Amino acid sequence: MNREDLQIPAAVAGFVLVACALWFLRRDVRPGVNRNVMRRMSRPDLGLEGGITKTDSRRLTGREFLTRFYGLNLLQKLEENLWQAGIYARIADVLLVILLMFTAGLFAGEAIWGRELVSIAIGAAMGSLPIVYIRIRRQRRLKAFAKQLPYALDLIKSSLEAGHSLLRGLQVVVAEFADPIATEFRSAIEQSRLGLPLPRALEEMLKRVPQDDLRLLVVAVRVQAEVGSSLAIILGRLSEIVRTRQRLQQQIKALTAQSKMSGIPVGFLPIVMLAAFSVIQPSYTNTLFFDPSGQKILEVAAVLDVLAFLSIRKLLKVKY
């Protein structure tokens, strides 16, 4: 059977796999009041079944292998990234999406190019798309939380000055604000109702939302619970500090924006030049596309270009 005869079945199979992967990925279940979910969110060190089971058997079953693999913290980190991204799905569903995307890329690469390394590279690239999607949603959600936090602190301060408790102030924030800050504070309130002290519930929320500004709130509440002081005054001062930090972050982004934007054309310049020469003078690029030695050179150049793009992005990333 020729390669042309396999292109249509492979394309149909790839389309079905991608459609199934997108359907699974869109299953974004909102966190309800579930005691098992609350227990796992408050104890991120637990495994998928509540803990890591040690076994002395040399032959591992699929479940024991998954448990030991979870001990490498890879699945735990993926689960934490899912919570931080606001995607409350099971790890098994996410792994199934990654496997389906990898298989679809493998089929597409084999049907179009028919080379093993290219097919594996395309499969790995498509398999990493769910991870990239989770990271993008995580970053957007954390940024949205950081923007809402100063206003939430002002509202909690006003509630405390009116004579309400801190728990009541958090309930007001849940009622007045939208996701993500309302969802996270609601989870902290539900954990407090299940018996977890409120300072500890806020510390657990910090694991789901690793923001330095939120860390200041957690420290302030913990110090106030141990020492005792006017929490309203502390939150008022903390709100000013958070706004000052956010203004400094925006200034740093504005000062480094030109360097970041200049790195993007440098990374994509080889691709643009290759496409331009392919259109203007195809004889210049026929060797790269049709000759075996040229194809190997093109593969090496593609890998080097990706490494150069990542290096430029790493160099332009400002740590502060």
- Digit-coded pLDDT (tens) for 189-232: 998 888 888 888 888 888 888 888 888 888 888 888 777 777 88
Same domain (yes/no): 228, 268: no
What would the mean pLDDT of 9-21 be, rounded to a whole number?
A: 55
Asked if the model's pLDDT at residue 136 lies above 50, the reply is yes
Are 163 and 225 in the same domain? yes
CA distances (Å), origin 94, targets 90, 105, 107: 7, 17, 20
Name which residue leads in pLDDT, 41 or 178. 178
Position 10 confidence tier, pLDDT thresholds 50, 70, 90 = low
The arithmetic mean of pLDDT across residues 13-26, rounded, is: 55
* Same domain, yes or no: 112 and 156: no
Q: Give the residue, 76 or 171, on which the prediction is more confident.
A: 171
Segment 295-299 mean pLDDT: 82
Most confident residue range from 3-7, 75-79, 112-116: 75-79
* Average pLDDT across the chain, whole number: 76
Residue 307 has pLDDT above 50, yes or no: yes
Number of domains making up the chain? 3
Residue 258's nearest CA partner among 308, 311, 316 is 316
Return the pLDDT at 20. 56
> What is residue 67's predicted lDDT score, i.e. its pLDDT?
59
Three-state secondary structure call for residue 160: helix
Residues 116, 155 within the same domain? no
| 258, pLDDT greater than 80 | no
pLDDT tens profile 143-154: 899 889 999 889
Q: Which range of residues forms the domain containing residue 174?
A: 144-248
Which range among 16-20, 134-138, 225-229, 263-267 shows the weakest confidence by mean pLDDT?
Answer: 16-20
- The reported pLDDT for the residue numbered 124 is 85
Highest-scoring range by mean pLDDT, 42-56, 192-206, 251-265? 192-206
**Same domain for 274 and 225:** no
The per-residue DSSP string of 7-57 comes to HHHHHHHHHHHHHHHHHHHT------S-HHHHHHHH-TTS-TTSSPPP---
Q: What's residue 272's pLDDT?
A: 87
Q: Is residue 69 part of a domain?
A: no
Q: Is the pLDDT reported for residue 48 higher than 50? A: no
Lowest mean pLDDT among 50-64, 90-104, 220-234: 50-64
Query: Do 212 and 188 fall within a single domain?
Result: yes
Amino acid at 101: M
Which tokens in the block code for residue 267?
């990374």
pLDDT of residue 192: 87
187, part of any domain: yes
Single out the residue of 134, 37, 53 nearest to residue 95, CA to CA. Answer: 134
User: Quick check: is 44 in a domain?
Assistant: no
Structure confidence by residue, pLDDT tens digits, 20-38: 555 555 554 444 444 444 4
Same domain, residue pair 224 and 276: no
Are 242 and 176 part of one and the same domain?
A: yes
Dist. CA 298–CA 42, nearest whole Å: 50
Check whether residue 187 and residue 118 sit in a common domain: no
Looking at 73, 102, 127, which one is the last position of a domain? Answer: 127
Q: What is the mean pLDDT of residues 57-83?
A: 64
| 97-134 residue pLDDT tens | 888 888 888 888 777 767 777 788 888 888 888 888 99
Residue located via tokens 């259109």: 279
More confident of the two residues 313 and 174: 174
What ranges in 31-86 are assigned the alpha helix state H? 35-42, 62-70, 74-85
Q: How far is 148 from 95, CA to CA, in rounded Å?
A: 32
pTM, two decimals, is 0.65
232 plus 307 within the same structural domain: no
